Amino acid sequence: MGIFSDLLVNSKTLDITIPTTALDKGVKREIDDIISRGDVEVPTSLQQRDAVQSILQYAIDPSGGTFTLTVTLRNGETFTTAAIAYDATAGTIETAIDTAANGTVTGWTDGDISVSGGTLLLAGADVVLTFDGTSVANINHTLTTIDGGSLTGGNADEIQDVELTGSPTGGTWELQLQLSGLAQIDVSGLAHDIAAATLETAIDSAANGVVPSWTDGDIAVSGTTVEDGTGLTLTFSGASVDDLDHGATTADISGLTGGTPAFVNTTTTPGSPLGGLVGTPQTTTTIGQTNRPSWAALISLSIATSSDVPDQGVDPVSFTSPGDPSFGIPSKDLIRLLADEASIEDDNLAVRDEILAAAGL
């Protein structure tokens, strides 16, 4: 069956049983007219699918310890696993999830979140969580989090190389440090051919009183000068900056003269806290959803475009009708019906409000 045929059968808000109200009777006639001219199918992008999330591999292998996973479902139910060994297999992780979910998640059956991949060690692969069991399928769940605070080993200091190319001959420039959790720190008034020791002193001057617990030399600078073919190495090894994943250092070179100056930065070793977790070690590879025929109908009637459709559970942003509807100009009553149906599909009243606003209702 097509979108509009299904709507007549499965609508949550349209009542076409006898006796039928005048409003519903009019909408039914409109839908019947659309069907007579050729119904349309729900596109793949709006069909039901299971959520798939990945826990990314360690940036640097830990040598021991444990981690936990916290799973938060769309309905607000949440659970945290017991400690899981740093080198656990997919099967072990799935068992830990089952143990934590039983008695917490309504209707849970072991294996409702199937786990594949692993181990998280660099010789293994990302751990993939597929929410495909009855209690969790076809839903856009919150991203699962990992707590690696009990992992041991695997820490590393950030190392970045910086270089000025293009052979500038004069003027000054500014180094811009992007330290983890802090606003940009500007190290200004630097010579085009600044040497390692001089740059380290300039960094100390800029960071003192700005970076908590800063000690001179916390970013060690090595090499000869910053010029072509030489470059300098920044090692984030002091207590205030070590074992952290810092942003790439940037620069303002507008004050340099001569040549064709350019700034080059390369992170040769990303910083990593104890346990080898860097940045956000989780990602969503597939966003779960139920079938969304009402959105498909809205698109076919040019009330929305495919780019307007939000992820289920997420408020839509403002959108406008693209015009040229496939089935003629829809009535206000049909638009209201589809807005109601879409908000029910997405379990989100903001969906109805945005659709009606886009239609000028």
The full set of domain ranges for the chain reads: 3-43+292-358, 51-155+277-286, 159-269
Structure tokens belonging to residue 324 = 């040229």
Q: Which of 124-138, 172-186, 217-231, 264-278 has the lowest mean pLDDT?
A: 264-278
Q: Check whether 18 has a pLDDT greater than 60.
A: no
CA distance linking residue 213 with residue 211, whole number of Å: 6
For residue 89, give the nearest of 112, 68, 116 by alpha carbon.
Answer: 116
83-101 tens-digit pLDDT? 999 999 999 999 999 999 9
Residue 180: exposed, middle, or buried by beta-carbon count in 10 A (0-12, 13-18, 19+)?
middle
Band of the pLDDT at 324, cuts 50, 70, 90? very low
Q: Check whether 343 has a pLDDT greater than 50.
A: yes
Band of the pLDDT at 327, cuts 50, 70, 90? very low
Q: What value does the mean pLDDT take over residues 248-273?
A: 95
Cβ pair 287, 139 in contact under 8 A? no
What is the pTM (predicted TM-score) of this model?
A: 0.71
CATH fold of the domain at 51-155+277-286 = Immunoglobulin-like (2.60.40)
Band of the pLDDT at 22, cuts 50, 70, 90? low
- Residue 163 backbone dihedrals phi, psi, to 5 degrees: -155, 145
Asked whether the bond before 43 is cis by omega within 30 degrees of 0, the reply is no
Residue 310: exposed, middle, or buried by beta-carbon count in 10 A (0-12, 13-18, 19+)?
middle
Instruction: Give me the DSSP letters along 254-322.
Output: TTEESS--EEEEEEEE--B-TTS--S--EEEEE--B---HHHHHHHHTTS--GGGPPPTTSPPPP----
Cβ neighbour number for residue 197 with a 10 Å cutoff: 10
